[in-house]
Structure 1
Amino acid sequence: MSSALLQKQLSTSLSKGEKRILLIRHAERHPFEKGSLGLEVGLTSQGKKSAEQLGHSLKDITVNKILTSPVERCIHTSECFVKGYGKSCAIEPSSLIGSPGPFIFDPDAAGPVFLSTHLIEVAQSIVKGVSLPGMRTLSEGGQIFLDHVSTLDSKITLMISHDIIIALLSAFLLQDVHVENYMPDFLKGLLIEYTGNKISRLTQLT
């Protein structure tokens, strides 16, 4: 979905009880070093520019809140978005969507799995119900996310997260085992629309 189409969909007026969650991956980052979880890896100059451009493209939309993974590149993505957005918007770090996110309950136990296994293989194992050290099942992690979203009172919330978290949530919400199809590019992800406490529409942002 292009920025113009996203803006059009977000600008549609919301009725009472309706809300939208824009869940996207952080902007372009530098490559990870081998043997590192990459938590300290920051944005490239192009990534910062792209996040600003996204913010500017949505300047006519009222984004009520930004929830971001506590990882530095996600926080910087949020800050660059707000810079381009041109209006004040609260940025709130949240472990719900990163470090550790909804699918990890023990980062120390889960860390070695990510160092030794390709990211897509980790995601596929979770979707298949394979028990992995320090990690929750797909349904457990997905429900933790939904329970938190149900408490949000903002009309439009932007969430800045990570590829595997977005892919797993997409597979859970869309009830599709092909999680590899939902690994998002930078600043892409999922638009979740609610009526009351029920999801009314899911749109993959590619």
Structure 2
Amino acid sequence: MSALQWQIPPSLLQQLQRTPKDRAVVMLVRHSVREALPPGDVGNAVPITDAGRGLALELGRLLRGRLRTLETSPVLRCVQTAQAIAEGAGEDLTIRENRLLGEPGAFVLDGGRAWANWERLGHEGVVQALVSETSALPGMARPDEAARFLVRSMLTAAADQPGLHLFVTHDLLVTATAARLLGRPLGLDEWPWFLEAACFWSASDGVEVRYRDHQATHPDPLCGLAEADVLEFARREIAATVGFSSGARFFLAGGAFKSLLTGRPPKDLDLWAPSEDDRALLIAALQSRGARPAGHRPFADAFEVGGRVVEVPHATDAGSLPETLARFDIGLSAVGVEHRPNDGWSVMVHTMAHESVLRREVLLLKPLVNWKYALTTLERTRRYAQELSFSVPPAEEAEVWRVFEAQDAQLRAGLIERYRRTGLGGFGIMEDIACRYP
């Protein structure tokens, strides 16, 4: 097709007319026109053409007054597309790079392993597997869970701000995500044109999905603490940080799994090792992937890697996943996944984690095993409630204060000192102590 023939996809023009203007609409859009990809290469360095830039500028002009945010795959042609759209829209937007959109993207966990799928199946075969199969290809995520997590994260990023929120990506991600959320496979003739998009927005009865003439309402919530969601979240985060080849047995456990409920990246990842040897392998693997120290922690070594903070606790005396989850005092923290060196996995979600989600309340695991850190636990319950828009039942707060008040003056002082060392502050704990014990 020549430069004179390139055009904004008709389906996109229809979507712009049909999408609601009173709510946040997420548009997962393929990048603009590019040159042909080199044979046998992913083509990350291939730019958009002059015609592609012109088309993206034209799309930006169509979005004037409606474009609110812009995120992109880090791959060059996607970044260039996003820049041209922003320029055409006349908007001084911060363009945020998002690795769920590419390099590697939501469906790829281990690029080296995943590339073998393209060599064996070809691009068409990989996409066909993503739109129709339930299992994961080697080095890749289970497609249904990955698609739902991607849409959940995009809707969270849109933050209920009415208008259009563009996420520039690749044909594979548009096709697979649309197919999964629509609940129907998409054939080769339904792959997106350059700048064609799938649209998503929240409604009272679920998430509205639009792609070309297809439409569906997908049940909400898109993600939760089901074992399949928990496992795929763990696989994604481990792949991005320590990788699958550390040789260590370990447990990803704790509050990181709240990301499945919020759609936001985890604050940090706790990787628990069941032995000193496993812990040494974990740290060696992190360092081999460029991990840098992330400051002092009282009970762990902390590292920054892959855009995440990873904490490796000093304690190695919990030899199993149930023993590790038994260390926690909050139901929503008692979620974990075990990774074994043979690529074996197991999942455990405490019943009180499910109950917390069902009731939209932050619930304690009683009796508190870490009662000497009860004030830090109280702060964490309040923080979880804020992050999730949950509540903390009065009975749960009362339990913490009951533990505190059951101690003599010296032990109370010790609890306060431990809170000062381990708490983040800012959730009214010290103020409550001052009011209760003037």
Q: Please tell me whether the aligned partners of residues 51 and 84 of structure 1 are also in contact (alpha carbons under 8 angstroms).
A: yes
Shift of 1:26: 0.2
Q: Please tell me whether the aligned partners of residues 37 and 115 of structure 1 are also in contact (alpha carbons under 8 angstroms).
A: no
Correspondence list, 1:172-191, <5 A: 172-191=180-199
Determine the C-alpha separation between the residues in 2 that align with 1:205 and 1:50. Answer: 22
Identity %: 24
Shift of 1:150: 4.0
Task: Kindly provide the CA deviation profile for residues 133-177 of structure 1, in whole angstroms up to 9, marking residues without a partner as x.
Answer: 101122121122133134220432101000011100011011012
Correspondence list, 1:40-189, <5 A: 40-61=45-66, 63-126=67-130, 127-152=132-157, 153=159, 154-155=161-162, 156-189=164-197
Q: Please tell me whether the aligned partners of residues 36 and 115 of structure 1 are also in contact (alpha carbons under 8 angstroms).
A: no
Deviates more, 1:123-132 or 1:49-58: 123-132
Letter in 2 for 1:29: R
Deviates more, 1:116-125 or 1:40-49: 116-125
Determine the C-alpha separation between the residues in 1 that align with 2:193 and 2:213. Answer: 9
Residue 5 of structure 1 is matched in structure 2 by: 14
Q: 1:38 to 1:195 in 2, by over 3 A?
A: same
Deviates more, 1:66-75 or 1:185-194: 185-194
Determine the C-alpha separation between the residues in 2 that align with 1:19 and 1:135. Answer: 30
Q: Please tell me whether the aligned partners of residues 31 and 194 of structure 2 are also in contact (alpha carbons under 8 angstroms).
A: yes
Q: Secondary structure at 1:104's aligned position in 2?
A: coil
Shift of 1:4: 4.8
Q: Please tell me whether the aligned partners of residues 105 and 134 of structure 1 are also in contact (alpha carbons under 8 angstroms).
A: yes
Q: Please tell me whether the aligned partners of residues 24 and 188 of structure 1 are also in contact (alpha carbons under 8 angstroms).
A: yes
Residue 388 of structure 2 is matched in structure 1 by: none
Q: Secondary structure at 1:36's aligned position in 2?
A: coil
Deviates more, 1:20-29 or 1:104-113: 104-113
Q: Please tell me whether the aligned partners of residues 171 and 179 of structure 1 are also in contact (alpha carbons under 8 angstroms).
A: no
Letter in 1 for 2:40: G
Q: Secondary structure at 1:169's aligned position in 2?
A: helix
2:59 is the counterpart of 1:25: no
Shift of 1:201: 4.3
Determine the C-alpha separation between the residues in 2 that align with 1:93 and 1:44. Answer: 21
Task: Kindly provide the CA deviation profile for residues 50-95 of structure 1, in whole angstroms up to 9, marking residues without a partner as x.
Answer: 000110122132x111010010110000001111111212211001
Which is bigger in relative contact order (C-alpha 8 A, separation at least 6)?
1
Determine the C-alpha separation between the residues in 2 that align with 1:73 and 1:29. Answer: 7
Q: 1:23 to 1:150 in 2, by over 3 A?
A: closer
Structure 2: gaps (5+ residues): 1-9, 215-438
Task: Kindly provide the CA deviation profile for residues 99-149 of structure 1, in whole angstroms up to 9, marking residues without a partner as x.
Answer: 111111111111232244321211112322354210112212112213313
Structure 1: gaps (5+ residues): none
Q: 1:13 to 1:129 in 2, by over 3 A?
A: closer
Task: Kindly provide the CA deviation profile for residues 7-31 of structure 1, in whole angstroms up to 9, marking residues without a partner as x.
Answer: 4335x431xxx32011110000011
Q: Please tell me whether the aligned partners of residues 27 and 77 of structure 1 are also in contact (alpha carbons under 8 angstroms).
A: yes
Q: Secondary structure at 1:177's aligned position in 2?
A: coil
Q: Please tell me whether the aligned partners of residues 40 and 72 of structure 1 are also in contact (alpha carbons under 8 angstroms).
A: yes
Shift of 1:37: 1.1
Determine the C-alpha separation between the residues in 2 that align with 1:2 and 1:182. Answer: 11
Determine the C-alpha separation between the residues in 1 that align with 2:123 and 2:166. Answer: 24
Determine the C-alpha separation between the residues in 2 that align with 1:205 and 1:53. Answer: 23
Normalising by structure 2, we get a TM-score of 0.43
Determine the C-alpha separation between the residues in 2 that align with 1:201 and 1:165. Answer: 15
Deviates more, 1:45-54 or 1:179-188: 179-188
Determine the C-alpha separation between the residues in 2 that align with 1:59 and 1:117. Answer: 41
RMSD: 2.2
Normalising by structure 1, we get a TM-score of 0.87
Q: 1:4 to 1:120 in 2, by over 3 A?
A: closer
